[in-house]
Structure 1
Amino acid sequence: MPPPHVHHDRTTEHNEGSPTNPVRFLGQDYQNLLQKSLRRNELYTDELFPPNSSSIGTLNKEADLDYTNVIWKRPAELVSPGKPFFTVDGMSRFDYEQGSKLGNCWFLASIGALTSKDKETSFMTKYIINQVIPAGQTFSNNYAGIFHFRFWRFGKWIDVVIDDLLPTNDDKLIFVGSKTSNEFWPALLEKAYAKVCGSYADLDGGFMSEALMDFTGGVHMEFVLNEAPAYLWDIMDRAAKSQTLMGCASYHWETREAVSSNGIVGGVMLTL
């Protein structure tokens, strides 16, 4: 999955759907909604992706989620003592852990490719991160419970607005969580992607190529190991030097996430 070209033609860079002028998803304007909430001195609640079961969707029966026990809370209500942060010491693939109720390792592996620590100094990688996760979002300056993220969808960049109400059970996040308890960028990014897809349940099962395309607008290549060319390692080496985002997946066994005799978990997607 090669990253997009940084330079844009001056005649097209301001067209709707370009990186500098993304389409407002569902017509929601982040700056207008932010300023309105600040003027009213109230925290934003997204009426188009409301904090209720409709936004969670119908999960797989294996998830065994009691919707009546789901409480939507803002990060400040989940951090004690202290305060929430959007990021803590930057972004890394080691920041988050998958929730037990949703099979979206494909999405999380794509985030890992996007935020891989060994690419921190890469200009292109930082460019992609800042395109997907606009800089300057915090829980302090001009905080109003509203955030936004950007994805490439069907030939255009879109800007997705969300509130920061997150589904919890017993004061713990139901879906993706952070290994640092007061860091919330992974949960908020997951919520924005769930909104684009329709619900959290719509993230249950997918392919890394889908998310990587939505993060970059690029094309993807896939190799099945027992059918790959002999020079696959050379291809991967060249791709790595070109700052291409890469990942891998294990074979999907008959039962979900079954462990083979060699210890490999089936149907799991990882960052390279």
Structure 2
Amino acid sequence: MPLDRIALVTGANKGVGKQVASELVANGLTVIVGSRDLTRGREAAADIGGGATALQLDVTDARSIATAAAWIRERFGRLDVLVNNAGISHTQADFTMDDYAAMSRASTASIEGVRAIWDVNVFGTLAVYQAMLPLLRESSDARIVNVSSGLGSLTETSDPNYPYRSTFGPGYPASKTALNAMALAMSIELEGTPIKVNVVSPAFTATALNDFQGTESVEDGSREVVRVALLGADGPTGTFTLWNGEVIPW
């Protein structure tokens, strides 16, 4: 791969996104830190250091996405790596995991809340893909990594013995199932091209998504995202893997 690789990480001002951006910079890439709030994006880019540049990007705002794509084209002329990391798990300001479980069932989930989650996790990811694909096609060997969750696995959730089966609901978990479907559609569209599309679950990582109650560190959760983003020409496409490299069934 060329050494002057250009990467965009959405939702990169904190959590897994920021860690992935930092590690990609450490691997010699120029990383665009996508952030809905530009001030926070600039703070994250400053923390990461040389090689990181902040860019305002709200994945739910078509104008913001188009402006970001135009900026990348003018500045770099192409995109080599797209990490679709931006995501939300809820719309409440304060909550406990017990609260989250109670308000996330099919019978109790707010329709407005579900729409808001899907707008970011599903439609936002698809919108960014569509806007950035022309730039990715300018690369000789682009990579797309969609940050998902093992909770989105229908195969796992269908198993009565799956330990997280009871947490599946129409909000965050189902949005990740839909995200996986979008990623599969991307990989099918790009079959026969040098662009690889893969899905990674960072596992139950301690971030704002779960009120920092996760059991894995952001360093562990980011490891597989970075590995897949840096896949060589002989690497796979259309895979769904966990933070430790384990394959997750769809």
Q: TM-score range by the shorter chain?
A: under 0.3
Name which one, 1 or 2, has greater alpha-carbon Rg. 1
Which structure has more RCO (C-alpha within 8 Å, separation ≥ 6)? 1
Instruction: Give the TM-score normalised by the residue count of structure 2.
Output: 0.27
Structure with the bigger percentage of helix: 2
